[in-house]
A and B are shown apart, each in its own frame.
Chain A
Amino acid sequence: MNLALRDIRHHGSRFLQTCIGLSLLLAVVMGMAGIYRGLVSEAMTILNDTGADIWVVQQDTNGPFAATSRMQEDLKYRVRSLPGVVQASPVSYQNIQMEREGKPFRFFLVGYEPGGMGGPSTLVTGRGIERRHYEMIADLSLGMALGSRLKLGRNEYTIVGLTRNMASSSGDPLVYVSLADAQEIQFKVDNNALRTDRRRVEKGLGAIEGLGNGQQAVLAPVVPTLAGGTHQINALVVKVAAAANPLLVQESIERWGHLRAISDSQQRAILFEGMIAKARKQIGLFAVILLIISAVIISLIIYTMTLDKVKVIATLKLIGAQNRVIVGLILQQSLIMGIAAYLAALVIINLTCDKFPRRVELISSDLQVLFVIVLGICVLASVAGIRKALSIEPAEALGG
């Protein structure tokens, strides 16, 4: 006969209420772990999907995600010519927030050369970008259907493909356009600014001593290309041949003096240290606090339940119950409470994880570790109750 289960059955509603409270706490802990895993996963999404060995960015920056990086697109030709380089693709990244149906609408715009690296590796539906302009691939979380249109700047883009779980390190859904479109969106300035820019260049040329009128007339046609050019990118993603040493490629690029070549592992470290480490500490601390609260609650409930059973325990001792029976009664109740709350929490978090605004990734190893922690907490939480139970004298069963 299991005394713990019978006691729980008798105090069903109190036990159920406690379990619900505990399960909500544990669900939050699971959610926290899931949010952390989601953060890591989101932060690494572009890196994983791109599969680059080297990220070439502006010198002295941690670009293109942790810092701004801007460089000329034509550098791709120079990088491609390096020994060991299999592929070098220009990419651009840009956060965009606009209003749509009266609500803020945020996404992370990725510009890539169709056929090159940096685009989506898999599509849920639709096709890849085939035309040079006005086509777009969006993540499902953006909430836009295949074939729908989105106005960006002066142009309207048609969604030709959809991805799943593609988000930036800040959790915004990824939207892909051709590099040409992305450059236009990111770098093209309006006509007034363009004219002002050209006048500044012309003025600069005019100020050069010794430049004759004839020479100035020759230079005039190139002024538009000197001012307001859009052929800029944020990074070059590089694939190195399997037989080649990526370190040598990195060194070659950095020897040019105006670029930084970051290996994939360095890029991951930059993202992790800069963008996730603090969040991890924050989330970890919250999870620890919640686990402590859970332990205190279990401990208090078990202790209270033990106090309620002083006469029962004394009677059991008097009729010859061994200490293991008494310890088992308290410990089993604590464990049953913890396990029931854990299972309920698992159901709750699985039912709600998709409703969170950011990705919640439930990893089975995390859940297993939490299960072991919950069991540990239950054992610890029952210590006070067990001590109290063992201190009860059988003689307390006597009297009125």
Chain B
Amino acid sequence: MYAVEVEHLTKIYGSGDSAVTALQDASMQVRQGELAAILGPSGSGKTTLLTAIGLINEPTRGRIVLGGDCVADNGWQPGFDLKRLRRERLGFIFQAHNLIPFLTAMENVMVALELNGVTGSKARQRAEELLRALNLADRKQSYPANLSGGQAQRVAIARALANRPQVILADEPTAALDTENGMNVMALLKSLAEENSSAILVVTHDHRMIEGFDRIFEVSDGRIVRES
């Protein structure tokens, strides 16, 4: 079973003469434990693809199947609580880490757990476990402003992993990092994909980072033009 299946996905913004096709007839499959890259220049439609798979951008046409559940078929399928699916099955990693500035590293991880109904000592235990695994145990009480770029991104990864998601969606996770930190993050994502059997989809236009991906989907003008 695929973790993510996308079939003939099309996204059109606007209507009539002002309609813009951001994504056209895109199809892809990613298995659990795979680290996949969505590669392409700015404006190619890769973020549109990511946000559609992330259940925040309703596709105009086509299907999205997550863990065997068809959540979109020419629009969102009724009966699915998209927020709940995002909480339980998806993890997000952002370009600028997007940590909540008024929460400590520990609380940033805990917030994802608490939103999913895991509270108290269980949430604390899980957050500590993740931060320890990511070598951040000594920075758990630090606020994002006091963390380095690499540390902050690792906290963001810990948050994304908190609810043991089936799919992790990463939007340019290395863009704000130097090469060394970027490589470290990629290596970390690869090991996490293998260890947790999560499918990790990384949107990037950074060709330095393409080594190590299990699969690469190249997007251009809203189409997946090459798959390797």
Whether the Cβ atoms of A7 and B102 lie closer than 8 Å is: yes
Bound: A7/B102 CA distance, A: 5
B98 on interface, CB distance cutoff 8 Å: yes
Interface residue SS majority, chain A: helix
Whether the Cβ atoms of A1 and B96 lie closer than 8 Å is: no
Whether the Cβ atoms of B102 and A399 lie closer than 8 Å is: no
Within B76-113, which residues are at the interface with A (CB < 8 Å)? 83-88, 90, 92, 94-96, 98, 100-103, 107, 110-112
Interface size class of A (residues with CB under 8 A): 20 to 34
Q: Residues of B contacting A395 with CB < 8 Å?
A: 51, 56-57
Contact with B along A358-375 (1 / 0, CB 8 A): 000000000000000000
Whether the Cβ atoms of B171 and A398 lie closer than 8 Å is: yes
Q: Residues of B contacting A270 with CB < 8 Å?
A: none
Whether the Cβ atoms of A321 and B107 lie closer than 8 Å is: no
Q: Residues of B contacting A315 with CB < 8 Å?
A: 92, 94, 98, 100
B114 on interface, CB distance cutoff 8 Å: yes
Contact with B along A311-349 (1 / 0, CB 8 A): 110011111111001000000000000000000000000
B29 on interface, CB distance cutoff 8 Å: no
B115 on interface, CB distance cutoff 8 Å: yes
Q: Residues of A contacting B175 with CB < 8 Å?
A: 400
Q: Which residue of A lies closest to B111 (CB)?
A: A1
Whether the Cβ atoms of B101 and A1 lie closer than 8 Å is: no
Q: Residues of B contacting A10 with CB < 8 Å?
A: 101-102, 143
Q: Which residue of A lies closest to B159 (CB)?
A: A319
Q: Which residue of B lies closest to A397 (CB)?
A: B98
Whether the Cβ atoms of B57 and A6 lie closer than 8 Å is: no
Bound: A225/B41 CA distance, A: 115
Whether the Cβ atoms of A398 and B51 lie closer than 8 Å is: yes
Q: Residues of B contacting A397 with CB < 8 Å?
A: 92, 94, 98
- Contact A6 to B83, CB < 8 A, known contacts A319-B112, A320-B115, A398-B51: no
Q: Which residue of A lies closest to B54 (CB)?
A: A318
Q: Which residue of B lies closest to A308 (CB)?
A: B101
Return the contact of B110 from the options A1, A316, A319 (Cβ within 8 A): A1
Give the most central of B54, B84, B94: most A CB within 10 Å. B94
Bound: A325/B112 CA distance, A: 12
Bound: A311/B207 CA distance, A: 28
Q: Residues of A contacting B172 with CB < 8 Å?
A: 400
- Contact A320 to B95, CB < 8 A, known contacts A312-B100, A395-B56, A399-B171: no
Whether the Cβ atoms of A325 and B56 lie closer than 8 Å is: no
A3 on interface, CB distance cutoff 8 Å: yes
Whether the Cβ atoms of A318 and B101 lie closer than 8 Å is: no
A127 on interface, CB distance cutoff 8 Å: no
B10 on interface, CB distance cutoff 8 Å: no
Whether the Cβ atoms of B86 and A398 lie closer than 8 Å is: no
Q: A residues near B, CB below 8 A? A: 1, 3, 6-7, 9-11, 311-312, 315-322, 325, 393-395, 397-400
